[in-house]
Structures are given as C-alpha cells and as structure tokens.
Amino acid sequence: MITITGKTNLVGLLGEPVNHSLSPVMHNAAYEEMGLDWCYIPIPCNKTNLEKVTTALRVINFKGLNVTIPHKQEVLKACSKLTSVANAIQAVNTLIPDTNNKWIGANTDVEGFIMPLKNKNLSNKNVVVIGCGGSARAVVMGLNNLNVKKITIIGRNDNSLNNFIKNMKKLSTKKQISIEAINNKKLDVTTYIEEADLIVNTTPIGMNRKNIENENIPLGNRIWENLSNKTILYDLIYTPRPTNWLKLGQEKNCFIIDGLDMLVEQGALSIKLWSGFNEIPTQIMKSSAKKHLMV
C-alpha cells in the first residue's frame, strides 16, 4: 500500500480512456520495490484539454508522464524537444521534464516491442503488420532495427495507409528494407499471410471477446486456415491473454507472443528515463500486472 505524503513525487498516464490501464498497478509496484516515494496516477484527458493539462502538470512539477491512445501524435505539440526515436516516428509515449517548464518527448514503445523478439533472428525475413495506427509506427521502427527484409502493412483504408507509408518509408529506405501497404478490402492478402515469418497485430481487434467469433480475429477466420507453424504471431493486445487470434496460432503450433512483455518493458524504460536508475524490477511489474488481470 502506497502512503502519499507531502513529499511524494507524482507521475501518471494521460489518455482517454485510462480506466482499464495496467500501468498504475505496474508502476506503483516498481516504485515500492525501488524504495521511491513516487505515485503513478491515471489522468483521463480529452484532445481539447491536452495542451492545458500537459502545461499544468509540468508547472506543478510532475516527474514524468506516459501518453496513450489517442494522444501519441497530438502530444508532439506539447514538446520543446524530441528524442531521435520519437522524432523519427513522430509519436511520443513518454514525457520527461525539461527546463523552463517544458517537456521532452520520448518513445519507449519501440524498444518495448523489440524486447520479446531479441532472441529471434529476423534479419532477412518477411513481416506482415496488421493496422497502421500509432503503435504500428513503433513496430515498423523496431522491425527496422531488427533488419528484416520486407514489411507489408495491411490496413482497411487508403488514407491511413498512404499517410503511414509516407512517414515510414523515410526510415526503411535508409536500410533498404522494402515496405509496402495493402488494403485488404481491395486485395486478397492470403499469400502475404502464408509467406510471413512474423505477423504483428497492431489493431484493437480481439480486445473484446463478446464480439462474434469472426469479428474477433484480425482479417477474419478463413485467412488463417493455411497458416504455417513457422510463422510467429505477435499480438500487441495484453487483455484477454491470449487473444482468440493467438489461441488460433497455438492450435497451429505457431510461436506466439502477447503484449504484456512490451507493456512492462516500455514502462520500465520510462521509469529509467524519469529516475535515472538503471535497474528496474520488471519481474515485479509483470507479476503485479498479471495478478491484476486475473481479478
């Protein structure tokens, strides 16, 4: 149990919604273990108030903020500086206090995403990314760092896909990684799925088990019929754990990865940036998050 005193430092999560987030549980468990007199709180904030809220929290000396859906791109306006990673993908999930009441924007999702793939050799492999929103930017940057051969982005609308590709091509051409976007409402993507070494789901499809079965699986059920057992399935979703899509992968004997390790790792990297500590108790963070998921 955290005791808040007059000296307690405050950190938190800005987003909408934030009421289902595991971050407060996970962060507060880490601070307790580290002996830090810090408290992490969820801060619901809509787009209209984002600028006012980030300014006010800096003025009252918050030690750091995480930023989640839907503000990861909009919050760039509140930053006086960006780290090179945040600048490359134009997305921020961590705000670090700067001088003169300003914030520095950083992105720890990229490293968080890579962590569970560290011992997989993905150089020269084909990767399919489903979805082209905020987290897909971090995923593509991460894949870039892993030197994959080809990234195929599958999305449902041309505008989002075109915007995404325009931004991300700058990254991949530096490394000569081929990147292409495909609208699955217009083209059959079966071959891409069958030939992929790794498939990453960055859409929220699967977060709600109440949906009818076919709607609960990215791209629908049928496309996965010929999924190879050599394909790794990585779902950024961490609740439910596993998602129906990952269960389907298990049935096909695929190696599966859910979003919990990424969540823990990106959180731990934020704590490093705010506190300057190098050792972060990631196992405690993960076990507190898992315990909370079971409640």
Give the nearer residue to ligand NAP in terms of CB position, either 12 or 131.
131
What's the min distance (Å) between Cβ of 177 and ligand NAP? 20
Alpha-helical segments (H) within 232-280: 244-251, 260-275
Give the nearer residue to ligand NAP in terms of CB position, either 238 or 274.
238
Give the nearer residue to ligand NAP in terms of CB position, either 97 or 133.
133
What's the min distance (Å) between Cβ of 291 and ligand NAP? 17
Write the burial class of residue 62 (CB in 10 Å: 0-12 exposed, 13-18 middle, 19+ buried): buried
Contact 242, 235 (CB under 8 A): yes
What's the min distance (Å) between Cβ of 71 and ligand NAP? 10
What's the min distance (Å) between Cβ of 157 and ligand NAP? 4
Contact 31, 40 (CB under 8 A): yes
What's the min distance (Å) between Cβ of 211 and ligand NAP? 9
Q: Name the strands in the sheet holding 232-235, side by side, starting at the edge strand that comes first in the sequence.
A: 178-183, 150-155, 126-130, 198-201, 232-235, 256-257
The alpha carbon of residue 222 and the mean position of all alpha carbons in its chain are separated, in whole angstroms, by 27
Contact 32, 85 (CB under 8 A): no
Give the nearer residue to ligand NAP in terms of CB position, either 37 or 213.
213
Write out the residues near ligand NAP by the rule CB under 6 A: 69, 109, 112, 131-136, 155-157, 160, 202-205, 207, 236-238, 259, 262-263, 266
Print the SS3 string covering 205-230. Answer: CCCCCCCCHHHHCCCCCHHHCCCCCC
Give the nearer residue to ligand NAP in terms of CB position, either 106 or 237.
237
Backbone angles phi, psi at 267, to 5 degrees: -65, -45
Contact 104, 274 (CB under 8 A): no
Which residue out of 52, 72, 149, 252 is catalytically annotated?
Answer: 72
Q: Which residue is nearest to ligand NAP (CB)?
A: 133
The alpha carbon of residue 257 and the mean position of all alpha carbons in its chain are separated, in whole angstroms, by 13
Give the nearer residue to ligand NAP in terms of CB position, either 58 or 202.
202
What's the min distance (Å) between Cβ of 261 and ligand NAP? 8
The alpha carbon of residue 48 and the mean position of all alpha carbons in its chain are separated, in whole angstroms, by 23
Q: How long, in residues, is the chain?
A: 295
C-alpha to C-alpha distances, 97 to 71, 80, 82, 89, 207, nearest whole angstrom: 18, 10, 12, 21, 33
> Is there a catalytic annotation at residue 72?
yes
Active site positions, annotated: 72
